[in-house]
Amino acid sequence: MKSLLHPILLLITASLTQAAPNIIYINTDDWGIGKVPSFQMDPASQSIIKTPNLDQLKQDGLTFTDAYAGNAVCGPSRCSLITGRHPGNAIWRANRKSAPEGMWPPKHPVLGEVARAAGYRTAAFGKVSAGGTMTPEEITACGWDYWLGFLGHIDCRDFYANYIWENGSKIPLPKNTEAILKGTSLLKGGSGVVGEGKGTFIEDLYTNKAIEFISQKSDKPFFIYLASTVPHGGPPGGMRVPSLGPYADNHKLTQHEKVYCALLTAHDRNVGRIRAAVENLGLAENTIIIWTSDNGDEDSYYKRTKTFDGNGPFKKSKRSLYEGGIRVPMIAYWKGKTPPASNSPLPTTQWDLIPTIADAGKLPKTTDMDGISILPTLAGTPEKQNSRPYLYFEFYENGKQQSVRKGHWKAYRKGGWNAPIELYNLSNDLAESKNIASQHPEIVAEMATIMKKEHSPHPVWNLNPKEKK
């Protein structure tokens, strides 16, 4: 496929002279704020799951307290991240097997391409589709010099799959045989434990290859998009781990919960491995590490027990545009730049990644980029940070949902243009428990105007003929 780069980006790329900081962007799957102990106001309230490397990253770096995913479920969220478009302009606005006809490829630069234009060599690992299922050629056309992962958001769920895609070629994983994996599938009544040193744990494979990429000598900085599938369970393979680690003897947990916790801790270990590689190679002072999630918490993989408080104080979870579906944990670390153990209240979201990369490479923000650069905040100079007037979301599953975050105000609507708008004051009601729309009709009217303004036509919306756009 031919390049999607705008001519202005091609011209500027040739003139770059100063290397940008390396960027490692780790995007997890369904990881709610309540699953990271150090994010709790009272850490004792969630002391079961062990994430020492994330806890240390948070202690050493910057926590974005008002961070948002691209959308309320994986495909649309990752689409907003990879295309830099908010959900009212994005290609995918609901999980589908493929994009609506005529909507791919996008007509504007996407993540890897912008990073290339900014002077980066680029790599992607894991759940690398921009929503739905893509062809190998479409994934490569997103601008990756190297990629390793899967073509869609379903086939990547098996942590011991017997194949993987590498640079457009389907590669067998011969250690993940039926004999080795026999009796390990939780979906089929198995243990969920494969055994240390047995098979190829794909979460480890991503990390191994990412560290190889980091270690390559080059006169260019690197940008890595590591799209982990942890802790997403479900078919075809469900949750499986090398071992139960510290949870093996915890008799208060079900087997599903033990495997779930072990997955989270295995990912945490790999975050630590990546950070250690950056440190050992002497790259820490010129490398930004960002860790976040693609949407709010999902608890079905361990059969919806009450053991964990996955979303902390927020309302609802994945598939909802209430805060619990889109508010996510986000930690950034840039040695010598991000103040240790600090917080930023800047509302930021995953479609801010593209303009941030462009800014790091001295590229101008274009009209195709719906986000803002958060590089000033990452660099420890929040006084130079541009703000935004509001954040807009829409999501087409579980009813037509729209939401707007403007300052401390949050508007939510479900059911289309004629549905009532709910209004919440997040400064004193993070749980969105008190709908105060009737007390502020002028703010509700303003939010309705924003919802109309930011929604671009999309074939999946399918407005009721009686509704007026």
> Are residues 268 and 191 both part of a single domain?
yes
Structural domain includes residue 170: yes
Q: How confident is the model at residue 13, as a pLDDT?
A: 47
Q: How confident is the model at residue 161, as a pLDDT?
A: 95
Question: How many helices, marked H, and strands, marked E, lie in the chain?
Answer: 12, 16
Among the three residues 339, 358, 390, which one is the final residue of a domain in this structure? 390
The answer to whether the predicted template modeling score (pTM) of the entire model surpasses 0.85 is yes
Phi/psi at 370 (nearest 5 deg)?
A: -80, -15
CATH code for position 430 = 3.30.1120.10
> Are residues 433 and 370 both part of a single domain?
no
> Are residues 404 and 380 both part of a single domain?
no
Structural domain includes residue 459: no
User: What does each C-alpha distance from 363 to 24, 203, 278, 455 come to in angstroms?
Assistant: 19, 33, 25, 27
Structural domain includes residue 183: yes
Nearest-5° Cα angle at 301, 297 to 304: 75
Question: Which of 198, 139, 212 is CA-nearest to residue 170?
Answer: 139
Single-letter amino acid code for the residue at 148: L
The DSSP-derived string for 33-65 is GGGSGGGSSSGGGG-SS--HHHHHHHHHSEEET
Interatomic CA distance for residues 61 and 64, integer angstroms: 10
Q: How confident is the model at residue 275, as a pLDDT?
A: 98
Phi/psi at 406 (nearest 5 deg)?
A: -135, 105
Single-letter amino acid code for the residue at 104: W
Structural domain includes residue 433: yes
Q: How confident is the model at residue 464, as a pLDDT?
A: 44
Among the three residues 372, 390, 408, which one is the final residue of a domain in this structure? 390
Q: Which helix (H) or strand (E) holds 14?
A: none
Q: How confident is the model at residue 101, as a pLDDT?
A: 65
> Are residues 52 and 120 both part of a single domain?
yes
Number of domain units in the chain: 2
> Are residues 247 and 271 both part of a single domain?
yes
> Are residues 301 and 333 both part of a single domain?
yes
**Per-residue confidence of the chain (469 residues) as pLDDT tens digits?**
344 445 445 444 444 445 799 999 999 999 999 898 888 766 665 789 999 999 999 999 999 999 999 999 999 999 999 999 999 999 888 887 666 666 677 788 899 999 999 999 999 999 999 888 889 999 999 999 999 999 988 888 899 999 999 999 999 999 999 999 999 999 999 999 999 999 999 999 999 999 999 999 999 999 999 999 999 988 888 899 999 999 999 999 999 999 999 999 999 999 999 999 999 999 999 999 999 999 999 988 888 888 888 888 999 999 999 999 999 999 999 999 999 999 999 999 999 999 999 999 999 999 999 999 999 999 999 999 999 999 999 998 888 999 999 999 999 999 988 999 999 999 999 999 999 999 999 999 999 999 999 999 887 765 443 433 3
Structural domain includes residue 420: yes
Interatomic CA distance for residues 20 and 282, integer angstroms: 16
Question: Which of 103, 112, 153 is CA-nearest to residue 132?
Answer: 153
Among the three residues 342, 366, 390, which one is the final residue of a domain in this structure? 390
> Are residues 368 and 405 both part of a single domain?
no
Structural domain includes residue 365: yes
348-349 and 67-68 as β-strands: parallel, antiparallel, unpaired? parallel
User: What does each C-alpha distance from 231 to 43, 228, 285, 289 come to in angstroms?
Assistant: 21, 8, 30, 20
Range of the domain at 99: 7-390
The residue to which tokens 């490569």 are assigned: 140
Structural domain includes residue 179: yes
CATH code for position 290 = 3.40.720.10
